[in-house]
Structure 1
Amino acid sequence: MSSSTPAPRRGNTRQRIQDVALELFAEQGYEKTSLREIAERLEVTKAALYYHFKTKEDILISLAEDLTRPLDELLEWGATQPRTLETKQEIMRRYGDALAGAAPLFRFMQENQATVRELRFGKDMKERMMAMVELVKEPEAELADQVRAVAALFSMHAGMFLLQNLDGSAEEKRAAVLEVALDLITQANSSKS
């Protein structure tokens, strides 16, 4: 097991299948992983695996649904809130939590971009990201402020992947990334006042 592979999150069979599949996708790539290999790693028959999932894409879609639920809830919440700086700051905080909870999935997406683009799952994630952008940027803002708002979101993503080699605990890095994202959101909204 690689050091970037998370410990299994959950205990029931469906969830164990998801965890092992994601682990194998991270180790070998999505395309090179077979349902047979997933079944072997789980020490179950292929028929037992088929009871829960017919294809690798079914596993990936189920993972996406489970791990992106907090993001969907955030999008729903954000759409009902006033477009204030405080709301946008809270969106960034909640977004950081959602990303942390879905880290294995986002790591898979980063490492398998070509595959993700081809799957329905990839299109769904792109739509979620565009909706997040709309929650944090002001359409009438100057272009530089719109870029700052978008950069705030992407600094959160960068924090998941690019900061692994920096000193500090995972929690310290998350706090630093959030601080930078909040600074960018604040700057993006400062000319609005």
Structure 2
Amino acid sequence: MARQSDTRTRIQAVARELFAAQGVRDTSLRQISDRLGITKPALYYHFASREDLVRSIIQPMIDDTDRFVTAREQAPDRGPGGPRLLLEDYFELMWRHREVIVMIMRDVSTLTELDLTERMFGWRRRLTSLLLGPEVSVAQRVRATVALGGMSDCSVEYAHLPLEEVKGPAVEAAAAALGLAAPS
């Protein structure tokens, strides 16, 4: 069973790399199987379809983000740091899943095909409420979109740099966009 799991993990790693570089639509299952040195039927043994393979790569990000937002909603007052701590933790979440974000950004139709668009907008609305409260003006929603979207973009754009070099400026910019006071 360990071998089957190893092969599945290797398929996901190669697919993630090719999807991020070429896009989901422009990457064939044949390219993935050729890169791995396995037959296409062997790939189908592990994943019933391209959608199944894509979903297996994206699902951990979905699960982690769902858990993150839900946990924050259940314990919104996390002591000192409040919204800034939420931004820091959110940035780290996006950083962990930056390869998947690149994959999605390269082929945005993946969101539609996997019914992720509304889910992602839902996360943003829920995070905005956690950051700014339940009654949010249009201007505040726009700032939250810039803050949260900008941090996601930074996790991709600067992925070649160390986390410590990117996180601070990204969080500070997000906090400024939200009008949060600088830490004392």
Q: TM > 0.5 between the two?
A: yes
- Where relative contact order (Cα < 8 A, 6+ residues apart) is larger, the structure is 2
Cα separation, partners in 2 of 1:177 and 1:189, compared to 1, 3 Å? closer
Deviations 1:116-166 (A, max 9, x none): 32332444434333333333232324443343333221221231244579x
Matched, 1:69 2:49: no
Matched, 1:99 2:86: no
Whole-angstrom CA distance in 1 between matches of 2:46 and 2:118: 24
Query: Secondary structure of the equivalent of 2:76?
Result: coil
Match of 2:142 in 1: 147
Does structure 2 retain, via aligned residues, the 8 Å contact 1:137–1:150? no
Match of 1:12 in 2: 6
- Tell me which amino acid in the other structure corresponds to 2:76: P
Deviations 1:17-64 (A, max 9, x none): 111111111232211222222111111122221121111111111111
Whole-angstrom CA distance in 1 between matches of 2:158 and 2:98: 13
- Tell me which amino acid in the other structure corresponds to 1:134: S
Superposed displacement of residue 102, structure 1: 0.4
Matched, 1:132 2:127: yes
Does structure 2 retain, via aligned residues, the 8 Å contact 1:63–1:105? yes
Matched, 1:119 2:114: yes
Whole-angstrom CA distance in 2 between matches of 1:108 and 1:173: 20
Report the number of matched residues: 177
Does structure 2 retain, via aligned residues, the 8 Å contact 1:88–1:136? yes
Deviations 1:90-137 (A, max 9, x none): 221111111011000001111111343233244443433333333323
**Aligned match for 2:169, one of 167, 176, 181:** 176
* Deviation larger for 132-141 or 33-42: 132-141
- Tell me which amino acid in the other structure corresponds to 2:165: E
Query: Secondary structure of the equivalent of 1:136?
Result: helix
**Aligned match for 2:155, one of 153, 157, 160:** 160
* Length-normalised TM-score, structure 2: 0.79
Match of 1:28 in 2: 22
**Aligned match for 2:74, one of 77, 80, 90:** 80
Match of 1:8 in 2: none
Match of 2:38 in 1: 44
Does structure 1 retain, via aligned residues, the 8 Å contact 2:83–2:131? yes
Match of 2:50 in 1: 56
Gaps of 5+ in 2: none
Whole-angstrom CA distance in 2 between matches of 1:83 and 1:108: 34
* Length-normalised TM-score, structure 1: 0.76
Query: Secondary structure of the equivalent of 1:61?
Result: helix
- Tell me which amino acid in the other structure corresponds to 1:110: M
> In percent, how many aligned pairs have the same letter?
29
- Tell me which amino acid in the other structure corresponds to 1:116: L
- Tell me which amino acid in the other structure corresponds to 1:21: A
Does structure 2 retain, via aligned residues, the 8 Å contact 1:53–1:59? yes
